[in-house]
Each structure stands twice: as structure tokens, then as C-alpha cells.
Structure 1
């Protein structure tokens, strides 16, 4: 059982009050939580990685709970996404360890979330930033919720660390007007529409 030793977490919150045009009735909130953990696979090639996803599920649940708290509760959260960044001694495949734990945790806590959790991965060092893609939690075709939140930490990931990130949103882009499936038209049956 590999150890992903947690060094640090950070929460970022954005309340968007205006983006051209008139101000929305309620500001749009986006928030992300980042966790810097030791990468037990750094510095060498390990063939079998998949079982380590199970070891990361408690981290995913803890991060999800803290993020929902930062969002003032689960009500109205209708967007989500995840990302991971490996330090220079890691490899891109190490970031893929976040697919199941990150997505599983948000789906478990948000209930009827049916759409795929958008994801981004890369390698980088301290101060590197990553765009965490966001999409609607029940219907991938809801264009108003196509977005990204840039996240990074000044002191990580170090060479032997991984930065895991979860993000959530309440509402689509302020003043979205690019058509497509509207939130009111979501059926939430197949994760697409």
C-alpha cells in the first residue's frame, strides 16, 4: 500500500459579481481545493498503479467535504471538475491516479451527478498553474457550464509530489449566450443531455 503523505491543502474561492452586461441576481461561485501529497512512485517506473486509486479515495472524500463547506453547502452546486499535476520526478500517468478518487468523491457527495467529471493533467514544478476544466454535473452538453478555473501553489508540486485538485461551481458563466442545451432542458439520464 503506497503512502500519499499530505503536506498541504489550500482552498480558492471566486465570487463573480460582474462580467460585462448587467450584474447577475446572485454572484456565481467557483471554488477549488488543492492538496500537495508525496508521490510514492516518483523517481522510478512502476508497472502496476491502478490499485493505488483505492488508497486515494479517503483524500478525495476529505477534499470534497471541505470544498462543499467552502461552497456553503451542496445546494445549487451544478458544475465540477478535477485536475492533477506531477512534479518532475513523477510521470503523467501518476496524475491519472486521480480519475477515480476525485470523480468518485464528488459524485458520492453531490448525489445525482451523472456527467463525466472533466479532467486535466500535466507535469510541472513549484508555481506551475493548471486550468481545471468545469462542466455541468448532470449533462455534458450544457454549454453555459463549459469553463475552467486556474489553480496553482507557489511551493508545489516539488519534484517528488503530486498536486491533486477538485473544483465546483454554482451556476454557469455569467451572461452565457452561446446556445446549446440549457439547464432547464437537462434530463440527467445519460450524463450527456
Structure 2
């Protein structure tokens, strides 16, 4: 492993009731976070980040995907997915982005769940204990608003100033009681409204 890993953290939550009403089934969301030493920390402005990306991102992605699929009881149970990275306060947001915004990292997840959608994401700078949000969407359909869902977690002692937290998130369903439709309904309605205005 090209990246030095300090710890691996797993967060799981199951939602049974939303709005005072029980769901048809509990919705499980999970996040697997790996805390790594920032390989660019203390080196000043590094123009070329590619060597470290090539050396470490694929192996890191494979590691996290394996652990996350195990937590979810298998890749076939994952309907929504996303990713996030938080760099410590002495690093650049570009350092966080460098780890997660490469096909060497993300393709492990897409291939494991046979996904068609892109991986939604957040990347930011923060101190230890900062809130980490992992936005997710349906792995096969970016327009399914039922699966626009966010997992929030934190790690009390990470990231340190010289670290990066790298996270993948998963859900075995959408929100407990989705009822706002999908973007395709909006497109149809807007087209009908436009046609009606043009006929007036």
C-alpha cells in the first residue's frame, strides 16, 4: 500500500421510522473511511500529483470497496453510492480531490456494483471531528430522486493536520418514504406547460 493507513472506521445506521411512520423495510446506510497520511504534506506546492495517485489510489479503492461490500452483506445489496474526502488543515483541497477523483479509485466501486451513474461526492478541508457528508444517488439512474440521500459521519481524531480521510458510502435503498417523484416527471410537466403556453 503506497498510502500509510492510520486507521479504518466503519459507520452504519438503519432508519426504521421517518415522519412518525414505519417504512416498508429498514434502510441501511454505511460508510467506510480510511485515514491516510497526506503524501503531499510538508512539501510545499507540488505541481505534479500523479506519481502518488498512480502508486496508491487503486489499491486504496479496492480495499475500501471490499470492506464496504462486506458491511452491506454483498455488492448486490447496494442501490445508492457516493464518495467523500476531507483533507487536514495543513493540506490542500486538491490533495483530497486527487485521491477520489481518479478512475483508478472510483472504478473499483462502479465495477463492484455494476453501476451506470457517476459517483456523487464531497471534498473539503477540515479539522479532527469535522462532519463528513457522503451524498449518494442510485447506482443505475441519476434521475431517481428517491435515492438522493446523504450519510453523515465523523471521526473524532481525524483528519489530523497532515492526514486525509477517504470515504465510500452505500445505501440499500432510498429515503424511507420518497414521494417527490423523479426528474423525468418534471421534464414531462415542463414540456407540457411549454407546449400549452405556445398554443395560447
The C-alpha deviation readout for 1:164-188, integer Å capped at 9, x for no partner, is 0000011110001011158xxxxxx
2:70 aligns to what SS in structure 1? Answer: helix
Q: Distance in 2 between matches of 1:89 and 1:171?
A: 37
What residue number does 1:185 align with?
none
Scaled by the length of structure 1, the TM-score of the pair is 0.88
What residue number does 1:173 align with?
175
What residue number does 1:35 align with?
34
Contact 2:36/2:164 (<8 A) preserved: yes
Q: Distance in 2 between matches of 1:91 and 1:160?
A: 10
* Aligned residue pairs, count: 180
Scaled by the length of structure 2, the TM-score of the pair is 0.85
What residue number does 2:77 align with?
76
Q: Distance in 2 between matches of 1:3 and 1:57?
A: 10
Runs (5+) with no aligned partner, structure 1: 183-193
| Structure ID, larger Rg | 2
What residue number does 1:110 align with?
113
**Runs (4+) of structure 1 moved beyond 3 Å?**
none
Q: Distance in 2 between matches of 1:163 and 1:77?
A: 22
> What's the C-alpha RMSD, in Å, of the aligned pairs?
1.6
Q: Distance in 1 between matches of 2:153 and 2:50?
A: 26
